[in-house]
Amino acid sequence: MSDIFNNFFMILVAVIGFGILVFFHELGHFVVAKMFKIKVDVFSLGWGPKLIGFKRGETLYQIALFPIGGYCKFAGDEMTTDFKAVSNDPNTFYGAKPHKRLLVALFGPLTNYIIAVIVLSILAMGTHKEFYRPNKIILSDDLNSQENKEPSPAKKAGLLTGDQIIKINNKEIGSFEELNKFMVLDGNQKELKITVKRNGEIKQLILNPIWDPSQLKAIIGVIYYLDPIIRYSKDNKLTNYLGLEDKDKIIGLDSDYEIITNVKTHDFLTNNFATNKTGVIHIERNGQIIDKQIVFNELNYHVSQKELFLDYYVPERVINGKNPISAFVKGFNDSNEMIKLSAIGLYSLIFKPKKDITNQLGGPIRIGHLIGASTVEAFKDGFYEGLRNFLSVISYISLALAFFNLLPFPAVDGGHIILNLYEMITRKPLSLKVIYLINFIGFIILISLAILVAFLDISNLSK
């Protein structure tokens, strides 16, 4: 019953989330169209046959069968052969002046951006708890000790495993997430000033990062250092099979007792899984040392490769709410960072696609699952945390929606903007026949991509 309720709640949250995103996007188009006296025939949340709706004035307001997406149907934007009548009617979309059409197209994604900035600013004013990966680091050299391997930039600079990176240049670093974000957005510099805390002392080092084309970011050769302290869950098969208890600390793997972290433990398990080897995990429990022996060719009969993971405690901190001005600055900056990350992701997808591109692509089904699953999980920590998570995820997706809708591709808002800019610059109206053809081709391509991405979403989620 619990699983049925969770699945129902996850779907409900996803539908509400999509409804919010689409409503504000289409509202942006709608308000500007009305301001310019362009007739709006239909304002729809969802696609397909109408479920419920009402007509007020010239506009039918409806909720349609398929709750993914939505649209504003303007007078004159349907396929027609009477091009002259449409272009001569100022109350139709294509009869309006180019600058009016441009603004109608622009205000959909712009509204998504504005709403995200507002919501993220409001969230920044609230005090809340946050789980994070620590800024304590491990040098990649210490995890992958290969002879004749070029030392990492971190090792060359004098960083040591166990250091805490607390500042890069003038940017405060409080978590590994913040470190990673800095390297993605601003790390591609010839020289970085790194401030670390080592055994209570503050040290400043100069580091020369290297560009990694596979990750599309500058790297320094570190990962986060997380002590492997077990967080017990009755649903974790590996934890139960090994007989681990809550707050058990893994202190050794076979004869190795150095730099034992969650990553090293994971590598130990995956590298030996389904082999003829045996291994020992040494744990500390209430001051006592306990050895857990693993016969790896028996382990795979009880735990699948997908289930080969342990849950660990991660650090938690309280983030104090900001005053309205500081909160707005944070909301504005976070929004712009998300737009930049979306651009980097698109570049990566086009020019540096991974072998398995399903990890780079995500359509409405996958986005809906993300909204629903992350919100359901967050609500387990209380209503406030669940609501914060829901609004945060919705805001970031809203920003991604704004970015991708502004791409200069036919049939999306960016395509309309480019066509109208062309008319404004050349002062020559494009043939409606040509515009309809461009948008029709673009629509066919978008539908084909949507079907492909939906197939990938379903196959990826079913794994």
pLDDT tens for 184-237 read: 888 888 899 999 999 999 999 999 999 887 777 788 999 999 999 999 988 899
Q: What is the rounded CA–CA span in Å between residue 40 and residue 77?
A: 10
Using alpha carbons only, give the angle 320, 321, 322 rounded to the nearest 5 degrees. Answer: 120
The average pLDDT across 356-374 equals 64
Q: Secondary structure of 72-128 in the HEC alphabet?
A: EEECCCCCCCCHHHHHHCCCCCCCCCHHHHHHHHHHHHHHHHHHHHHHHHHHHCCCE
The domains located in the chain, with CATH, are 2-125+396-461 (no CATH), 128-225 (2.30.42.10), 237-306 (2.30.42.10)
Q: Please tell me the predicted confidence (pLDDT) of residue 19.
A: 85
pLDDT level of residue 363 (50, 70, 90 thresholds): low
Q: What is the rounded CA–CA span in Å between residue 345 and residue 254?
A: 40
* DSSP state, residue 430: P
Q: Which single residue is written with the structure tokens 């007078």?
A: 75
What's the sign of the alpha-carbon dihedral 236, 242, 243, 249? Answer: negative
Between 363 and 422, the more confident residue is 422
The kind and range of the H/E element at 295 are: strand 288-295
Mean pLDDT of the chain: 86
Q: What is the rounded CA–CA span in Å between residue 257 and residue 346?
A: 42
Q: Please tell me the predicted confidence (pLDDT) of residue 444.
A: 86
The average pLDDT across 280-300 equals 92
pLDDT level of residue 168 (50, 70, 90 thresholds): very high
Q: What is the rounded CA–CA span in Å between residue 20 and residue 26?
A: 10
Q: Please tell me the predicted confidence (pLDDT) of residue 123.
A: 95
**Percentage of the residues of the chain whose pLDDT score is greater than 70:** 89
Q: Please tell me the predicted confidence (pLDDT) of residue 385.
A: 85
Q: Please tell me the predicted confidence (pLDDT) of residue 1.
A: 43
The average pLDDT across 130-143 equals 89
DSSP 3-state of 24: helix
* DSSP state, residue 357: G
Q: What is the rounded CA–CA span in Å between residue 194 and residue 204?
A: 6
pLDDT in tens, 404-417: 999 998 878 999 99
The average pLDDT across 53-63 equals 92
